[in-house]
Amino acid sequence: MVTREEMTQELMEALVALPNTADGIAAKFLAEGITGTPQDSCDCPLAAYASRETGYSASVGPNNMFVSHRGPESKWTVSTFDIPLSEPLSEFVMRFDRGNWPELIIIDEDEI
C-alpha cells in the first residue's frame, strides 16, 4: 500500500517540476495538450497534470490540492489528503478559472 508520505513525495516532485510562474505553467500545459474546464475542481488542468504524473485522483481549489488513492484490490479510497499550493500554482488556478488561456479550455462539441 502507498503511504501518505510516498504520495506526498510523488506529488511534490511533479509540482516542483512545473515552471515557477502562472504563464509558464500555462505554456507547459498548452505544449503538452493538458486542458480543463474553468470552475471545475476535478477538471482543472493542474488536477489533470497531477493525476497524469502520479496516477492519483486530484482536485484543485484556489489554494490547495486534494489527492486520493484507491488500493489495487479496493473500490474504496484508502488514502486522502490535501496540500497547499505554491503562489504560482494558486495564481494559475485563479486565472484559469477567470478564463485566462482560452486555449487550455476544453471545448464541448455539443455547445458549438
Q: Please say whether the beta carbons of 19 and 88 come within 8 A.
A: yes
Residue 23, domain member (yes or no): no
Per the structure, the complete domain to which residue 96 belongs is given by 1-17+40-100
Q: Which residue has the higher pLDDT, 55 or 71?
A: 55
User: What's the mean pLDDT in 44-51?
Assistant: 96
| Domain total of the chain | 1
Predicted TM-score (pTM) of this structure: 0.87
Residue 80, domain member (yes or no): yes
Cα(76)–Cα(11) distance, integer angstroms: 21
Residue 71, domain member (yes or no): yes
> What angle is formed at CA 28 by the lines to CA 26 and CA 32, rounded to 5 degrees?
115
Residue 33, domain member (yes or no): no
pLDDT, position 83? 87
Residue 85, domain member (yes or no): yes
Residue 25, domain member (yes or no): no
Residue 44, domain member (yes or no): yes
- Is a pLDDT exceeding 90 seen at residue 31? yes
- Is a pLDDT exceeding 90 seen at residue 69? no
Evaluated on CA atoms 2, 34, 16, 40, the torsion sign reads: negative
